[in-house]
Amino acid sequence: MIRIVGLNSRTASIEARELFSFDAAGAEKALAAWRAAFPNVEAALLSTCNRTELYFASEKTELPNDATALTTILSVKMPETDAETLVVERADALHSFGEQDAAAHLFAVASSLDSMILGEPQILSQTKRAYELSAKAQTTGPILNAAFQKAFKTAKRVSVETEVFKRRVSVPSVAVVDFALNIFERLTDKKTLALGAGEMAEETLKYLADYGARSVVVSNRSRDKAEKLAAVWNATVVDWDARFDALADADLVIAATGAQEPVVKLDDYRRIEARRRGRPLFILDLSLPRNVEPSVGDRPNVYLYSIDDLEAACVRNREIRDRELPKALRLVDEEAARFMSEIESRRSIDAIRKLRDGWNEIKEAEVERLLRKIGADPETQGEIRYAFDRLVNKLLHSPTTTLRTDAQSPSAPALLDAARRLFRL
């Protein structure tokens, strides 16, 4: 049995998500509380800015209900009565899944098909960290270990067999992946100049760093803001009045200021153009109004892209991703069905083993009782044991064959539950 209960950005407000969120230390405490409360039930906890989800499973023990499960982990953050109240009050924001739906949801989360931004690469690494933390807390077991490993393999299939991960949809990511990397073979030896120190510049620098950019200069009218951004990326700060000297040395420029008129005009560029010696210059103008005069883009070896160019690429990528989503979801459903078949096969084998062991135990006791009573010679004892073995094997043949052959069928869970109750396994 496997279940998921939690909430995400589609069903819950940011205020609700804050109440249910856990940092790494909090997650460790929550899992320790779970282990104490339910030592025979596996658990893993994923908590990000967009979701908090508890995954729990057991092969032998009845699972706690969703409210009890959430109350248990939330009680490390607040008194248990407050945790119970919170779960009741936020019930409308919660979602839960069981069995194959739970597996499909986990696989979709790891494959970034359930994210705010389809194909968001960070969620896979977040899911891996959540699993590693849960494994370290010793709350995972055979079911969740297999489920998360299958989730990671499914994410790899989605990334290889569809365009979901290949198409960026945020302006900074498109600027770097779809534009900069089409002009420069690599970024490791390129010099970057950031004109502006706001969120857009910071986000673009993040993507540049992911692709190897290391030499960064920041220039901003407010030097304090420039220094704060430079501290994050180990960058150099130049005064705003010296930005054109930095432009002469740059290979790649991020223009993202709040200026209402261009901060790089054609005449400005002409004054430093000869110093560039014809080197290619890639300019991302991420501002509106534009920071760089469009005519700068007409100069030789200058590649100037505006926010409109990038937005158009985002739209195209988003359309391609949306077209790929059904294919990716089919992969997820296929892997979830395969995973549940594997689980049911294992459960069937376990049930067959328990059934056979139980009947053989009864057989051995009865054989020993009979042999003590009749005092037969060794040859007769052998015949009696052989007869009892054949009888038990014949009686077991029908139920074990049914359990084995129906393990892959949709009725397998119900059949297994019936067998457990019928034979008290």
pLDDT at 379: 86
CA–CA separation, 233 and 214 (whole Å)? 8
Question: How do 2-8 and 51-57 pair as beta strands?
Answer: antiparallel
pLDDT at 65: 96
pLDDT at 116: 65
- pLDDT per residue rounded down to tens, the chain (425 residues): 899 999 998 888 888 888 999 988 999 999 999 999 999 999 999 998 789 999 999 987 889 999 999 999 999 999 999 999 999 999 999 999 998 999 999 999 999 888 766 666 678 889 999 999 999 999 999 999 999 999 999 999 998 898 776 655 566 777 777 777 778 888 889 999 999 998 888 888 887 888 888 899 999 999 999 999 999 888 999 999 999 999 999 999 999 898 889 999 999 999 999 999 999 999 989 887 889 999 999 999 999 988 777 777 767 767 777 787 889 899 999 999 889 877 776 666 677 777 787 888 888 888 888 888 887 888 888 888 888 888 888 887 777 777 666 656 666 666 666 666 666 66
Identified catalytic residue from 10, 14, 40, 49: 49
Do residues 174 and 366 touch, judged by C-beta distance below 8 A?
A: no
pLDDT at 164: 73
pTM over 0.85: no
H-state helical runs in 115-249: 122-136, 142-161, 171-174, 181-183, 199-210, 223-233, 243-249
CA 247-251-256 angle, 5° bins: 60
pLDDT at 411: 62
Length of the chain: 425
pLDDT at 168: 59
pLDDT at 310: 74
Do residues 240 and 197 touch, judged by C-beta distance below 8 A?
A: no
Query: What are the beta bridge partners of residue 252?
Result: 192, 282
What is 171-309's CATH number? 3.40.50.720
Do residues 215 and 245 touch, judged by C-beta distance below 8 A?
A: no
pLDDT at 81: 92
CATH fold label, 2-167: Beta Polymerase; domain 2 (3.30.460)
pLDDT at 101: 94
**Over the stretch 378-425, which tens digit does the pLDDT of each residue have?**
888 888 888 888 888 888 777 777 766 665 666 666 666 666 666 666
pLDDT at 178: 72
pLDDT at 32: 97
Annotation says 314 is catalytic: no
The ranges assigned to domains in the chain are 2-167, 171-309, 342-423
